């Protein structure tokens, strides 16, 4: 009888076709490799990149909503009216990646034990990649939400407790720093081909991330140390203007100045629809437009010559549209392939990419970022001249037509405030629409312990309801996103973020 029953139980055991069950997985190096690739793959999901844009760009003074767009959730964020029910308040995409990372960290050592060709060094390189991906995701969460649950254990079975309280920013960032320092030692310098070197985590990507975290935490010495580690690497160079900076960096992608960019490709059917929808394509207007006053027609931001033409290439490269009688401008960065220009630089034509055959990448770190992070740190340390030199490096690249004498002059930037503003402005010019601006402004506000300067800049993009938006952003806590309501409901340990916990 027992024999019969156990054979019955065998008969009642079937395994899914087309899927692998845990017992048969984690047996070899490639098993690990495939899940590591899934971490990256889930970061090129449309909703993931959308959130990078919403968290880093939308609330800033760079962009505003295209008025014909019917995107109520985005409009509300743009107007500083973020409700916990807003779908962009959900952090699920980030934690999905984090959990993949946690699962790899949990099981990869088992695979290493089994696969004789899977050396310890190879395992460590994978662990480094995964630690860095996890750190990057947490760093986004910390910047967007402040405090979040810091989970480093894999979610495996329903018997686990998934209701985990928030950790303080310091606890999380201390953890990330430790992980990254460990990972830096283990990580690969090169994967043997350009796409992988730019599309996967390398030693330089880890250093860039570390520098970013240190800067966020006002740890300027450490920030400079890690920036320098990247800057001394000769494999990275700025693409000069005569090599068509825009086309090389954003059109062709994976340039020599790139450190880490999310790879989209038509063959993998990853079309970067987030960029297509937010910034537009040749045929469709995007949800977001550059702000006319603070960006498009801002003569202080982008220098103007005697012909009333912008001389800064970046203004021409990143924005198109706008005629003498129409003030409608559109974002060209990422949507565009290249731009041609008449010899006097007055007339230019824009060529768009075909989003279906050559989708844009999304750049997380590139060399100018390292330079300007270092500049920002140097300014905070009162070290103005080397900072100015770094700013000039990126500034001059985009002003090939002006004489070196017209570079930004040290005599014009004598106070710390002036220098800070200069670096901030240069970062705005350089990283327009790259999902950096809002975090730059937040860093400034955090250092000031006040949103006053941030407010002046951000409010300049609005034409209505200035008072209301201003009064909301007075509160430092309002710089963060609320925790999504569904998350609060599912997790009794969570407390709503300050500012959003009162009546909204």
Residues 178-217 that bind another protein (CB under 8 A): 195-196, 199-200
* Neighbour count for residue 151 (Cβ, 10 Å): 16
Residues that contact another protein, how many (by CB under 8 A)? 75
Pairing of strands 319-321, 329-331: antiparallel
Least Å distance, CB 52 to another protein, is: 17
CA 116 to chain centre: 38
Closer residue to another protein (CB): 195 or 304:
195
Least Å distance, CB 172 to another protein, is: 12
Please give the radius of gyration of the chain, using alpha carbons only, rounded to the nearest integer: 24
User: Is 231 a residue that touches another protein (CB under 8 A)?
Assistant: no
Q: CA 261 to CA 199: how far, in whole Å?
A: 5
The answer to whether 109 and 123 have CB atoms below 8 angstroms apart is yes
DSSP per-residue letters across 44-63? TSHHHHHHHHIIIIITSSSE
User: Is 276 a residue that touches another protein (CB under 8 A)?
Assistant: no
User: Is 415 a residue that touches another protein (CB under 8 A)?
Assistant: no
Residue range at the interface with another protein (CB under 8 A); choices 208-216, 267-275, 307-315, 423-431: 267-275
H helix runs in 257-302, sequence order? 273-279
In the list 21, 232, 347, 403, the residue contacting another protein (rule: CB under 8 A) is 21
User: Is 75 a residue that touches another protein (CB under 8 A)?
Assistant: no
User: Is 251 a residue that touches another protein (CB under 8 A)?
Assistant: no
Closer residue to another protein (CB): 33 or 169:
33
Q: CA 504 to CA 83: how far, in whole Å?
A: 8
- Closest C-alpha among 41, 16, 149 to residue 490: 149
User: Is 9 a residue that touches another protein (CB under 8 A)?
Assistant: yes
H helix runs in 29-152, sequence order? 29-43, 46-53, 72-78, 92-114, 120-145
Closer residue to another protein (CB): 385 or 495:
495
- Closest C-alpha among 251, 243, 429 to residue 338: 251
Report how far apart, in Å, the C-alpha atoms of 371 and of each of 168, 211, 242, 426, 474 are: 29, 11, 20, 11, 31
User: Is 283 a residue that touches another protein (CB under 8 A)?
Assistant: yes
In the list 116, 232, 234, 267, the residue contacting another protein (rule: CB under 8 A) is 267
Residues 124-163 that bind another protein (CB under 8 A): 148-149, 151, 155-160, 162-163
Q: State in Å, rounded, how far the first CA of the chain is from the last one.
A: 66
In the list 46, 421, 485, 501, the residue contacting another protein (rule: CB under 8 A) is 485
Closer residue to another protein (CB): 98 or 391:
98
Least Å distance, CB 283 to another protein, is: 7
In the list 27, 28, 71, 83, the residue contacting another protein (rule: CB under 8 A) is 83
Residues 345-374 that bind another protein (CB under 8 A): 356
Closer residue to another protein (CB): 138 or 226:
138
Cα three-residue angle 399-400-405, rounded to 5 degrees? 75
In the list 125, 317, 494, 497, the residue contacting another protein (rule: CB under 8 A) is 494
């Amino acid at each position: 009888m027992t024999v019969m029953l156990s054979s019955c139980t065998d008969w009642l055991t079937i395994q899914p076709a087309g899927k692998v069950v845990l017992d048969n997985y984690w047996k070899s190096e490639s098993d690990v490799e495939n899940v590591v690739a899934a971490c990256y793959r889930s970061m090129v999901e449309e909703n993931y990149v959308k959130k990078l844009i919403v968290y880093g760009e939308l609330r800033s003074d760079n962009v505003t909503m295209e008025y014909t767009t019917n995107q109520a959730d985005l409009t509300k964020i743009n107007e500083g009216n973020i409700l916990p029910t807003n779908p962009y308040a959900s952090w699920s995409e980030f934690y999905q990646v984090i959990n993949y990372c946690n699962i790899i960290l949990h099981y990869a050592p088992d695979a290493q034990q089994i696969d004789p060709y899977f050396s310890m060094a190879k395992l460590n390189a994978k662990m480094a990649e995964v630690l860095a991906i996890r750190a990057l995701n947490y760093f986004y969460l910390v910047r967007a939400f402040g405090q979040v649950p810091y989970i480093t254990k894999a979610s495996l079975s329903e018997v686990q407790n998934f209701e985990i309280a928030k950790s303080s920013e310091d606890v999380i960032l201390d953890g990330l720093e430790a992980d990254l320092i460990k990972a830096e030692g283990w990580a690969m310098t090169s994967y043997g081909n350009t796409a992988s070197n730019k599309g996967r985590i390398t030693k330089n990507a880890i250093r860039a991330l570390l520098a970013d975290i240190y800067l966020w935490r006002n740890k300027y010495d450490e920030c400079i140390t890690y920036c320098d580690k990247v800057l001394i690497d000769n494999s990275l160079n700025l693409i000069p203007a005569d090599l068509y900076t825009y086309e090389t960096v954003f059109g062709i992608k994976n340039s020599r100045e790139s450190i880490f960019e999310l790879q989209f490709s038509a063959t993998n059917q990853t079309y970067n629809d987030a960029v297509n929808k937010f910034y537009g394509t040749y045929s469709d207007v995007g949800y977001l437009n550059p702000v006319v006053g603070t960006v498009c027609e801002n003569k202080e931001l982008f220098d103007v010559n005697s012909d009333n033409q912008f001389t800064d290439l970046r203004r021409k490269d990143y924005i198109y549209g706008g005629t003498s009688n129409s003030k409608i401008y559109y974002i060209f960065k990422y949507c565009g392939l290249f731009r041609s220009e008449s010899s006097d630089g007055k007339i230019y034509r824009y060529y768009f990419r075909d989003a279906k055959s050559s989708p844009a990448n999304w750049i997380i770190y590139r060399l100018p970022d390292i330079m300007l992070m270092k500049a920002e740190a140097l300014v905070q340390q009162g070290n103005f001249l080397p900072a100015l030199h770094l700013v000039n490096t990126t500034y001059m690249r985009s002003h090939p037509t002006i004489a070196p004498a017209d570079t930004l002059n040290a005599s014009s930037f004598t106070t710390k405030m002036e220098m800070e503003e200069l670096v901030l402005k240069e970062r705005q010019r350089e990283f327009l629409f790259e999902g950096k601006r809002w975090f730059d402004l937040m860093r400034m506000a955090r250092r000031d312990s006040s949103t006053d300067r941030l407010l002046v800049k951000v409010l300049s993009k609005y034409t209505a309801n200035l008072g209301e938006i201003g009064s909301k952003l007075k509160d430092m806590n309002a710089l963060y996103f609320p925790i999504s309501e569904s998350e609060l409901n599912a997790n009794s340990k969570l407390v709503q973020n300050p500012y959003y916990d009162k009546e909204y």
